[in-house]
Amino acid sequence: MTDRALCKQLGGYGLLTAEIHYYMPDYPALLQQFVWQQYDLAPRFPELHRFLDHWRREVEAPLHSIRIAHKHLIGPAEWRAVDGVITIN
């Protein structure tokens, strides 16, 4: 059995964290904060757009602002060539 998160990361997905501020429906002068994490593809962020479309359709709270952070967790291996030979007797 393979891990879906690992498969997504190998496919180029990175971890997206979205900090969503929205107005409370009963108290429109107050802002509420919601933090959401998902694996997504930068720079288009299709998963985020799908989530926000769902929010606009199904949630009565209007959005104020969204702040995102994205990080690729799996990247190319780091290596450097070493010039020289060390002999251990």
* pLDDT, tens digit, 9 for 90 and up, residues 17-64: 999 999 999 999 999 999 999 999 999 999 999 999 999 999 999 999
Using the predicted structure, report yes or no on whether residue 88 has a pLDDT greater than 70.
yes
The whole domain housing 48 covers 4-71
Total-model pTM: 0.78
Average pLDDT over residues 79-87: 68
Domains contained in the chain, number:
1
77 pLDDT band (50/70/90 cuts)? low
Q: Is residue 21 a contact partner of residue 71, using CB atoms and an 8 Å limit?
A: no
Q: CA-to-CA distance for 84 and 76, rounded, in angstroms?
A: 25
How many other β-carbons are positioned within 10 Å of the β-carbon of residue 32? 13
Please report whether residue 48 resides in a domain.
yes
Query: What are the helix (H) ranges across the chain?
Result: 4-10, 46-58
Residue 30 CB-half CA count within 13 A:
6
The confidence score (pLDDT) of residue 34 equals 96
Please report whether residue 16 resides in a domain.
yes
